[in-house]
Structure 1
Amino acid sequence: MPEATDAARTVMMTVDDDPAVSRAVARDLRRRYGSDHRVVRAESGASALETLRELKLRGAPVAVILADYRMPQMNGIEFLEEALDLYPGARRVLLTAYADTDAAIDAINVVDLDHYLLKPWEPPEEKLYPVVDDLLESWRATDGLAVDTTKVVGHRWSARSSQIREFLARNQVPYRWYSSEEPEGMRLLAAAGLDPRHLPLVVPPDGTVLAEPEERDLAAHVGLSTTPAADFYDLVIVGGGPAGLGAAVYGASEGLRTVLVEREATGGQAGQSSRIENYLGFPDGVSGAQLTDRARRQATKFGAELLTACKVTGLEVNGAARTLRFADGSSISAQAVILAMGVSYRQLDVPGVAELTGRGVYYGSALTAAAACQGQEVFIVGGANSAGQAAMFLARRARKVTLLVRASELAASMSFYLLQRVEDSPTICVRTDTVVEAAHGREHLEGLTLRNRVTGHSEAVDAQWMYVFIGAEPLTDWLDGTLLRDPRGFVLTGPDLSADGRPPAGWVLDRSPYHLETSVPGVFAAGDVRAESAKRVASAVGEGAMAVMLAHRYLEQS
């Protein structure tokens, strides 16, 4: 039987069917964390689940769960999968022998494993405590915060409701969802005095009633920063994807007064990825949300200021200052600017899709809607890595996932490791040479018309869920007339600014532009928004760091 616990303290749980190992893990955890946490141990998955249910009823927080892989009746992966339903925010660690490493890696895609530890873990000061320290810090920064939960009332097939949920989820704002058709949702609407036609309703912790709120107003009420603390900075970064966050970390750590402004949510497209497996330093993979959370906390630790729901509409050169104009009429200035806006998902331009977006048709992973796909068929349009990662993620819950690929094969657009996993998945079906001709439905997506590009044959299929990954395009129209871009809208930098190697027209300095510098001195571009960039997470982070180094050089010479 598991040991008794005190519901008033944060719990760390260890589960192992070997009593000696169970006691050893608990002993090492108590030695380091016993003064602040209650360490609970169990010797079977069943008894551990019983304890977790009791803790849930008492309202006790559970921060970390460590489970042995090889347990009879219920192994560690099966136990963690069930524990996920009780405590989705708890950080999950699998204890495993070296021979079971493959099973631990596979568990990443089953239970969103945070880490696995090889036995033995001695000395714990080197192999156990650093891992648990990092997991506890991550838990405290998100699930461990003692805050009231924001309430959202909406309709399952409301596009605006979907947008609000995605905004909150991507900014890691805790919220609880209520359908407008369930009793509690109706009660909240009545209490707010709102008609169900004015959805979504958002009630933040301060009790303010927000009907169909705009992101900027919503952000201000749920604790996100939307207004800069100063009028002038050393460095302004536009965009909070991997390149922008990388620049914020390096800019702030180098002592520059740094502010990052983001239109929607930090992380960019990478932040919506269910699993990034080829990023240096994460051999077991990392979700986009986890990577974003760590980068955001790292940037703020160094003193960077992060602003959300700030739409930049213009860039001006005012002497030595570079001024950014916002949609609300305000502005901010700096000595140097790094453009790291990334790219936006390309829209699927076929009949019916625009009207049904957010109501069964989604761009990107749309993780808030993924839970509703349980036991149903899901269609994914696209054949690159983002589509493959989404397919692997959705295949955990959906009855069937069908990849609709325009090309004749996947090998040209999808990484080899991911292609193998897609092909090995029993619930993923790949249809090549296939395009979507139309989407059908009234209140929500009900069907698709698909066409084979080779035979020309069209067919109608029933569908309620479609996720679109057909490439991306930069949102740089607001830079028109200010700096040079290529025909597709990507920002030109350094040697790409002119064919003959000469400085671009209007260049006023007696040197050539630096490698990541645009046609405006002191304005740099990094990551996916830059023409000829590698379009990878690692390269975007590297370019963000490099842009800071070049900005430093520019500031020293100004």
Structure 2
Amino acid sequence: MPKPILLAIDDDISVLEAVVQDLRRNYGQDYRIVRAASGAAALDICRQLKERNDIVALFLSDQRMPGMTGVDFLQHALTIYPDAKRVLLTAYADTEAAIRAINSAKIHYYLNKPWDPPEEKLYPVLDDLLEAWKQGYKPPFEGIRVIGVRWSPMDHEIRDFLSRNRIPYQSLNPEQNPDALALLKEKGIDDAKLPVVLFGDGTALVQPSITELANKVGIPTQAQQKFYDVVVIGAGPAGLAAGVYGASEGLRTLIVEPNAPGGQAGSSSKIENYLGFPSGLSGDELAKRAFLQASRLGAEFLLQRVTCIRSENQYQIVQMKDGSEITCHVCLLATGVAYCMLDVPGADKFSGAGVYYGAALTEAMACANETVYIVGGANSAGQAAMHFARYAAKVHMLIRGDSLEKSMSKYLIDQIGATPNIVVETCTEVTAMNGNSHLETLTLKTPTGQEERSTSSLFIFIGAAPKTDWLPKELVCDSKGFVLAGPDLKAKAPGAWKLDRDPYLLETSVPGIFVAGDVRYNSVKRCASAVGEGSIAIQFVHQYLATL
């Protein structure tokens, strides 16, 4: 495949040469660097590239150019390469024009000249933009293919695992795609044994378990060591933050996660209130950045489910589902919360076959031009509704209350109100689900009575609860399963703390076991808060280790 292109435009030849040299030095291995000395010349180049089916990943244009300004060029380029990232180079005096251009030319960033040193002022910005561009770029597919029927819970589980671990794949339904049957026949696989996962190396897995799939795609399922300074259980925002700080501060850090980095936040289609991202970002992208950061700093990741923790002689022994054990000085619980199940007739029967919990990113494209129902009125439901609105013909939000104001952020309420294919139905509940092999109809209790609606897709976001029944009995939780720690532990469970010293802020009733994020009692259920707790937990880990 030809390399994607970075196109630099500036009428000052010396500045253009400097831009090109900086781009080549950092990106020449993966991208082709092309230059133009004017906006008009750059547009001609764009048209020629388009005719040859070449791909432009990023435009980097000066603002002050005779004949055509950088903003004017980027507006024209938007119509030719709408997916390319657009960066404007400006003098300090042009800052106001650059800010206005964020809307008019939909530029993604502006940089003040000069940008020396590029390692600090140029490359970090372009790295983020190019990484974001790669997420949306779809080259000719040569990777994993998942062959399965849409309404199979196992097929959904496989696709959800691959999606949440950011592993590209192509989904082929043999009921709609004859090529899928031809691929199975070529491999000598019976189409009654779906789902089947085909790999680029010619191998295949028939009805694979998640562990088998993880091993095949290179996700570790066995730890490299037997002992760690700290084992973080859960790779949501709190666990990832703890991994970043623990590894960066020299602790041998292992993060254990049963599904994929990101936790519940990782399934959010767009987070718009996270500090530092004015255009918002998906939970998947946030998880990916944190995962890469923690990995680069030395944290180790392991795809396993923890089933038991026990303490022996100031050590914590963490047992996995496969029976393997890991010893550590400190264990940090960052397991977050899981979506609550809807308790109505048919919910269990159609789970994974038309009824889904927090699977907006995995299933949205399969719902193109259909009518989708969402149960829930908090931010996660609102984010999902906005995401589905891009694909579905109609999105119905069903909420028990009389408005969204009590449970949803205003920015989301405003967006939903301005989206014509989203319908908010208040004082409405699902009372039953019906169908044969998959969901076909919903029975609703509405303000005017009982109704039956046709749909094949229901997505449920009705709050979340901790899954902590596997924890040792010595580790004290409240009546709902949230873990008590620090001052809350002493206030809510007098006598549970046995040492002379007070527990550290995030320390549980078992010395050496800490907790951070949504699973902690009385935590603020926000992504930024979870990141903060995961970060500061490492400070208390150091204090605890100093006492050993």
TM-score category by the smaller chain?
0.7 to 0.9
Note the C-alpha offset of 1:387. Answer: 0.9
Which residue, 438, 441, 444 being the options, matches 1:447? 441
Q: Single out whichever of 259-268 and 411-420 deviates more from structure 2.
A: 411-420
Gaps of 5+ in 2: 62-68, 89-96
1:227 corresponds in structure 2 to 222
Q: Give 1:51's aligned residue.
A: 49
Q: Distance in 1 between matches of 2:256 and 2:74?
A: 51
**Deviation digits for residues 524-553 of structure 1 (CA, Å, limit 9, x no counterpart):** 000011111001111101100111111111
Contact 2:353 2:438 in 1 (8 A): yes
* Contact 2:193–2:206, Cα closer than 8 Å, also in 1: yes
Equivalent of 1:542, from 532, 535, 538? Answer: 532
In structure 1, the partner of 2:207 is 212
Match of 1:373 in 2: 367
Instruction: Give 3-state SS (helix, strand or coil) of 1:34's partner.
Output: helix
Does the 8 Å CA contact 1:203/1:210 hold for their aligned counterparts?
yes
Alpha-carbon RMSD: 3.2
Residue 306 to residue 185, structure 1, CA distance change in 2 (3 Å): same
Matched, 1:350 2:348: no
Would you say the 8 A contact 1:93–1:116 is kept in 2? yes
State the shift of 1:368 in Å: 2.5
Aligned pair partner of 1:492 in 461, 469, 484: 484
Offset of residue 395 of structure 1: 1.4
How big is the shift at 1:198?
Answer: 1.6
Normalised by the length of structure 1, the TM-score is 0.85
Maintained 8 Å contact 2:269/2:360: no
Distance 2:369 2:138 in 1: 32
Superposition map of 1:412-427 within 5 A:
412-427=406-421
Q: Compared with structure 1, are the counterparts of its residues 49 and 23 closer, same or farther at alpha carbon in structure 2 (3 Å cutoff)? A: farther
Match of 1:97 in 2: 98
CA positional deviation for 1:117: 1.7
Post-superposition offset of 1:176: 2.2
How far, CA to CA, are the matches of 1:422 and 1:46 in structure 2?
40
User: 1:102: how far off?
Assistant: 4.6
Match of 1:517 in 2: 507
SS in 2 for 1:281: coil
Task: Check conservation: 2:102, 2:109, Cα contact below 8 A.
Answer: no
Superposition map of 1:128-147 within 5 A: 128-136=122-130
**Matched residues in 2 for 1:175 and 1:530: separation?**
36
8 Å Cα contact 2:517/2:529 also seen in 1: yes
Letter in 1 for 2:348: A
Greater displacement, 71-80 / 279-288: 71-80
C-alpha distance in 2, partners of 1:80/1:377? 31
Is the contact between residue 56 and residue 81 of structure 2 (CA under 8 Å) also seen in structure 1? Answer: no
Residue 487 of structure 2 aligns to which amino acid in structure 1?
P
Following the alignment from structure 2 to structure 1, what is the Cα–Cα distance between the partners of residues 444 and 495? 49
Which of these residues, 433, 440, 449, is aligned with residue 457 of structure 1? 449
User: 5 Å matches for 1:83-482?
Assistant: 83=83, 92-93=85-86, 97-102=98-103, 116-118=108-110, 123=115, 125=118, 128-136=122-130, 149-181=143-175, 182-308=177-303, 310-452=304-446, 455=447, 457-482=449-474
Letter in 1 for 2:516: A
Using the alignment, how far apart are the partners of 1:273 and 1:192 within structure 2?
A: 37
Give aligned pairs, total.
Answer: 522
AA aligned to 2:531 is: V
- Identity level (%): 44
What letter corresponds to residue 135 of structure 1 in structure 2? L
Aligned-partner Cα distance in 1 for 2:445–2:13: 61
Residue identity in the other structure for 2:404: L
Show the counterpart of 1:111: none
| Contact 1:166 1:366 (C-alpha < 8 Å) held by counterparts | no
* Structure 1: gaps (5+ residues): 1-6, 84-90, 108-114
2:305 is aligned with what amino acid? K
1:251–1:258: 8 Å Cα contact kept in structure 2?
yes
Instruction: Describe the shift of the 1:501–1:332 C-alpha distance in structure 2 as closer, same or farther (beyond 3 A).
Output: closer
Q: Distance in 1 between matches of 2:33 and 2:373?
A: 44
State the partner residue of 2:65. none
1:25 Cα shift?
A: 9.6
| Offset of residue 28 of structure 1 | 5.9
